[in-house]
Amino acid sequence: MKIFAVNGSPRMKKGMTHILLENFLEGARSAGATTETVLLQKQKIKYCLGCLDCWVKTPGVCVHNDDMKQLIEKVNCADCLVLGTPVYVDGMTAQTKTFLDRMMPLVDPHFENVDGHYRHPSRSGNPMPSVVLVSVCGFYERDNFDGLIDHMTRICRNMQSRFVGAVVRPSSYILNLDSILAKQIEEIKSAARRAGKELVEKGTLSPQVLDDVARDYLPKELTLKGANDFWDRCIKAGKLLST
């Protein structure tokens, strides 16, 4: 399986998205997949202008001459696209959304009827890669991913991609608490690696492995107190302290 992954966290390799994504991909590689990851923050990707030149004037070619040219080729050649993004304002980051908006050249403007919905066929005639979402968020409850997962489900239906599933980790900062939660962090990373392996070996992500990645490790009330103490210390110091 050829996997193309993007990390849409502006914090790039310092972020928790990176930790979850890289463990997922490590698991996929252990089962024989080849993987390539791109940090979207480092790429020059301009906003889609909505001119639709890529549909009518220069079919398949965007009016912008930027890094998306190479990225779109990588998407085209992949069996699976892994989208890594933190939850920002109940959705994906702007970097991730801009990347997805710029996929317009991959589809043909004509309509076709797919199970009662009109959709655009892929320009190449080949199926679009399947999609996995890998995401982290700061809040405690898993339902903070609901908006993003619903959005991804619809995007995939629109793109005629198979949405394999979402590997999500709430209370993302836990992944930074090596000094006190080393064992739990290793359990989360190990579950993410198992998820990557499952993707390659079975083409699916089991509810069990997704639950293992997302599991609660700290009681909710303790999280409230711990988080508020942390923010008080940061505000006092006037900077973001390490957790």
Contact residues toward ligand FMN (CB under 6 A) are 9, 11, 15-17, 86-90, 136-139, 144, 172
Which residue, 16 or 156, has its beta carbon nearer to ligand FMN?
A: 16
Q: How far is the CB of 32 from ligand FMN (least distance, A)?
A: 27
Tokens of 35: 């993987």
Q: Is 126 exposed, middle or buried (0-12, 13-18, 19+ CB in 10 A)?
A: exposed
Residue 187 main-chain phi, psi, to 5 deg = -65, -40
Do the beta carbons of residue 74 and residue 4 sit within 8 Å?
yes
Classified as helix, coil or strand, 131 is strand
Q: How far is the CB of 231 from ligand FMN (least distance, A)?
A: 12
Q: How far is the CB of 221 from ligand FMN (least distance, A)?
A: 18
Which residue, 25 or 137, has its beta carbon nearer to ligand FMN?
A: 137
Q: How far is the CB of 185 from ligand FMN (least distance, A)?
A: 14
Sequential DSSP letters for 55-101: HHTSTT--S--STHHHHHHHHHH-SEEEEEEE-BTTB--HHHHHHHH
Q: Under the phi-then-psi rule, with left for phi > 0, alpha for psi from -120 to 50, and beta for the rest, what region is 52? A: left
Which residue, 35 or 172, has its beta carbon nearer to ligand FMN?
A: 172
Classified as helix, coil or strand, 128 is coil
CB 35: neighbour CB atoms within 10 A?
21
CB 15: neighbour CB atoms within 10 A?
23
Which residue, 2 or 233, has its beta carbon nearer to ligand FMN?
A: 233
With a CB cutoff of 8 Å and minimum separation 6, the contacts of 55 are: 104, 105, 108, 109
Q: Which residue is nearest to ligand FMN (CB)?
A: 15
Which residue, 60 or 226, has its beta carbon nearer to ligand FMN?
A: 226
Residue with tokens 């700061």: 138
Which residue, 113 or 242, has its beta carbon nearer to ligand FMN?
A: 242
Which residue, 1 or 20, has its beta carbon nearer to ligand FMN?
A: 20
Q: How far is the CB of 165 from ligand FMN (least distance, A)?
A: 19
